[in-house]
Amino acid sequence: MTRGSGNTTKQPGNTTDGRIGTMLKSIIGTAVVLGVAGLGAPAEAIAQDGGTFAVRGATIHTVANGAIEDGTIVLRGGRIIAVGRDVEIPADAEIIDGQGKHVFPGMIDSFSSLGLTEVGAVAVTNDASELGRWNPHLNAHTAIHPASEHIPVARANGITHTMAAPGGGGRFGGGGGSGIQGQATLIHLDGWTVEEMEIEKTAAMVIGWPTLSTGFRAFAGFAAPGGGRSFRRAQERFDEQVAEMDAWFVAADHYRQAVASGSSRVPRDIQLEHLSRVLDRGMKVIVRANGWREIESAIEFAEKWNLDLVIAGGNGAREIAGTLAEKNIPVILGPVQRLPQGDDTAYDDPNTLPGVLHDAGVEIAFATFNSSDSRTLPYEAANSVSWGLPQDAALEAVTLAPARVLGVDDRLGSLEVGKVGNLIVTDGDPLEITTQIEWVFIKGVPSDLDNKHRSLWEKYDSRPARRVTTTTT
């Protein structure tokens, strides 16, 4: 949280519009009272009663159907009820003057640890990783911390949704590694409870693919003489790990069949029960793989088991872009603001990757794979634009494309009538770092844009003028 924030202007939601500000407080108040009373009123109901809003006279970037100059968008009951140039604004609508402003869909961080990781270096604040390599029964939903400080930070930068994913076990608890890491959950970023934030409790099964590597990690002071294991050995180890993965899928398939047969003697196994849900495309399977050989192996595996495959990571995806496009396998990319991986990899390899994949016809979505950096999602996309990714494709890759990749494009990702009222009102292109996000609507309700970055800015911006003291000796 050390990088500069673009969100330090005064937020209209807090100050300029008294009525909306009050209403926002009353909504929040209601939610708290209901929560305390234990009535458990669904958040949906509150949002649907949340009123009617219209942004008038703005440039509306629908993503799905181009941009509308001097357009109006109306939200009611949590949904978009009208978008266009000549739109009748209901009499009871709160109106936001959109002159000179831009309206975009809220952005979706396709893969993050928002709500799961607070401070990476403090183990007790990390809920993204579990020990063990085979955890299909874990669901990130159960671990989301709605009060994470990173959530308002990301939200204030226009991120309205994320898929929060378990990071996988870890050989040193640090995440990654091959195995079944658990179920990722799709949430929006404004709620007091995870139930309120829930979009899809289970968005996908996350699998870490084995890596085919001849490199040794130094361990306990032992380094390998000669620099690493032989490729033959690495290939063997890789094949072993894929076979291990396969054994889990065989067992899951067997379990599914046994349960479906109505047999009363099948011992319940929650690992296999959850894993069997991914078979025959019953749940998305997000495979974390970077090298093209690993991706190829994952594709072969997914075809064998008829999996609804999404690749996450994809650093080496350019090598098999054609295959990914042909087989309609999307790639969740990121972060692409990184160094090239090999000593002799082209300096711009990470930067040009999104454009290359896009040109080849691969569906791409950006992600931060992080919690504190989730706010930088738009810059992942922005950076790629200067290296060949068309600007509209970049915008789509943080809005509608993630919605498609995660299977929620019927509700999220674009500004169309009937979709959920998730939008941001800005003074420019949200991929531009100087752009200010002025309003964020989630489920048709304006969100509080206050956040820790902002309060720190306020604190230090308003500190007293430097006192000049004279000391005598």
Partner 1 sequence: MNRTALARRLTGGVVPGLLLASLSGLASPASADAQYMPSQAPVPPPFFALRNARIVTGTGAVIENGTVVIANGLIEAVGADLDIPGDAWLIDVSGLTVYPGLFDGLSQVGLEAQGAADFGGVGGGGGNPLLALAQQPRTVGPEDRPATNSWVNAADMLNSEAGGIETWRSGGFTNALVAPDDGIVTGQGVVVNLAGDEQEMVVKAPAALRVTMSGAGGFRSFPGSLMGVIAYIRQLYLDADHSRQYEARYMADPSGQPRPTYDRALGPIQDAIAGGWPTVMPANEVRQIRRAIKLGRDTGGRPVLQGAHEAYGLADEIAAAGVPVLVDVDWPERNREADPEADESLASLKRRAYAPTTPARLEEAGVEWAFYSGSAGSPRAMMEKVRTAIEHGLSEEAALEALTAAPARIYGVDEMLGSVEAGKIANLVVTDGPLFDEDTDIRMVFVDGHRFEEEAPEPRPTEPPAADMNGTWLLSLNNDSQEATAELEVSEDGTISGLIRGERGEQQITDGWVSGNEFSITATATMGPGMEVEIVYTGTVEGDSIEGNASFGGAGNMDFRGTRPGGGVR
Give me the residues that bind partner 1 (CB under 8 A), please: 131-134, 169-172, 177, 216-220, 222-226, 229-230, 232-233, 236-237, 244, 247-248, 250-252, 254-255, 257-263, 265-267, 269, 271-272
Task: Please state the closest distance from residue 121 (CB atom) to partner 1, in A.
Answer: 21
Task: Please state the closest distance from residue 209 (CB atom) to partner 1, in A.
Answer: 15
Report the residue number, 26 or 230, with the smaller CB distance to partner 1. Answer: 230
Cα 118 from Cα 123, distance rounded (Å): 9
Task: Please state the closest distance from residue 168 (CB atom) to partner 1, in A.
Answer: 11
Q: Residue 282 burial by CB count (10 A; 0-12/13-18/19+): exposed, middle or buried? A: middle
Task: Please state the closest distance from residue 133 (CB atom) to partner 1, in A.
Answer: 6
Report the residue number, 273 or 416, with the smaller CB distance to partner 1. Answer: 273
Report the residue number, 49 or 239, with the smaller CB distance to partner 1. Answer: 239
Report the residue number, 122 or 220, with the smaller CB distance to partner 1. Answer: 220
Q: Which two tokens stand for residue 245?
A: 């993965």
Report the residue number, 211 or 376, with the smaller CB distance to partner 1. Answer: 211
Category of 422 on φ-ψ map: left (φ > 0), alpha (ψ -120 to 50) or beta: beta
Task: Please state the closest distance from residue 289 (CB atom) to partner 1, in A.
Answer: 19
Report the residue number, 219 or 460, with the smaller CB distance to partner 1. Answer: 219
Task: Please state the closest distance from residue 203 (CB atom) to partner 1, in A.
Answer: 23
Cα 424 from Cα 405, distance rounded (Å): 21
Cβ contact 88:130 at 8 Å:
no
Asked if residue 146 has a cis previous peptide bond (ω within 30° of 0), the answer is: no
Cα 100 from Cα 59, distance rounded (Å): 7
Reference 406, options 304, 318, 312, 301; nearest CA is 312
Cβ contact 147:121 at 8 Å:
no
Q: Which two tokens stand for residue 7?
A: 């969100």
Report the residue number, 22 or 230, with the smaller CB distance to partner 1. Answer: 230
Task: Please state the closest distance from residue 341 (CB atom) to partner 1, in A.
Answer: 21
Task: Please state the closest distance from residue 79 (CB atom) to partner 1, in A.
Answer: 43
Reference 161, options 330, 455, 457, 405; nearest CA is 405
Cα 263 from Cα 313, distance rounded (Å): 41
Report the residue number, 136 or 152, with the smaller CB distance to partner 1. Answer: 136
Q: Using the CB atoms, write b or e for 173-205: b if 16+ within 10 Å.
A: eebbbbbbbbbbbbbbbbbeebebbbbbebbbb
Report the residue number, 56 or 274, with the smaller CB distance to partner 1. Answer: 274
Identify the H or E element spanning 19.
helix 18-37
Q: For tokens 């690495």, what's the residue?
A: 234
Reference 96, options 26, 172, 6, 19; nearest CA is 19
DSSP symbol at 189: S
Task: Please state the closest distance from residue 287 (CB atom) to partner 1, in A.
Answer: 18
Report the residue number, 131 or 468, with the smaller CB distance to partner 1. Answer: 131
Task: Please state the closest distance from residue 342 (CB atom) to partner 1, in A.
Answer: 22
